[in-house]
Structure 1
Amino acid sequence: MKKYRQATALFTMIGLMACNLANKPSKSNTPDKFIKLPEYFGQEDAHIRTGGFILHKSVTLNGKTDTISIPGSDSATVHDLLKPFTDADLNKPSLRDEYDTSGLYDPFSGRRSLIYKSKGKQTNPSEITLELDKHGNIQQVNIHSYTSNMVYEFRQDLHYQQNRQVRMTTYQKIAFLSPKELEVNVTIAPKTGM
């Protein structure tokens, strides 16, 4: 009888240890498949805010234009300006197998272009193109998004050129309403001049 109690206690301990091991979250060591755009634009956000830049912003909505100059140290403005780029995270688990990757290489300059293209019709963004210098640093990002169905159409083109320009063009059409077109051009310039 004493042996059965010891055996039962031993098996109970082994069972509890196995349950605890099974409940521990396992860390996924799989590397991200795509370049981490949210991290890159987080660094660009900090660089613009601390780099002594001024932002010359021009907004055109349905043909009416307004311009303004904003200091680059305005964290809310810089965050809002880069948010559409930060949201383009292709490493999300839901998007992991939704994109094909291709690239072009210039052997003379060492520059590379990486193109991430959606495999499906309605995956957003539908295409991302990255221009990298010979050291692998991102110099330019272009993002294209497109969604369409019977009652709604949305197109957006985003362009970011490091230390120079941000451009966003958006077209939105909802059935029975007139379309809206928005274009935002921001020139990133040193405070001392262009």
Structure 2
Amino acid sequence: MPKKKIISDKTISKIPQRKIPSVPVKRINPLQGNLRGYNKDAEKVLIENFVALQKVMTNLSLKFDELTIQISKLLELFEISAKSLAERRDFGMGDGRAHRELSGKLDNLMEQNKTLARGLSLLHEPRQMMPQPSQMQQPMRNPPPQNINRPSRFNPLPQKQAVETDDYKKSISPEEKEE
């Protein structure tokens, strides 16, 4: 009988592994080596930037100085105007003469306005009281019935409407001002 070989399910096969040759890698330290040329260029750029920054800061400080001078001048102007305004207010309130003159002129103007209004109302009154020509030509046969409850179209003038000429003041003309 032939012999049977029992092969187990577990077979281990060894494949020879190859070694990967290692290549030596040269590591560069950033502080050493080829960076010395780069450092010189970077230093030049940094110095130029620093000088430009100093110029900008100098110009900025000069502009601030000019601005502070202008602001101080503006404050002085405000102080002067405030003092002047306070003096004018004190002068106007303490004296009162200018206030009285202005008040008198306004009163005079108001009186002239009243006089003109009276004159205009007197000019328009006769037209309202006069009958119109078309009404004069037609004979009045039957007067229209008057309804007491209905408001009238024309407000009747009061009976006592005398014009007071005592209060009349002649307006000021340019010829009178020269006198």
TM class by shorter chain equals under 0.3
Radius of gyration: which is bigger? 2
Taking structure 1 as the reference length, what is the TM-score of the superposition? 0.21
Please identify which structure carries the higher helix content: 2
Taking structure 2 as the reference length, what is the TM-score of the superposition? 0.22
Of structures 1 and 2, the one with the larger relative CO (CA 8 A, separation 6+) is 2
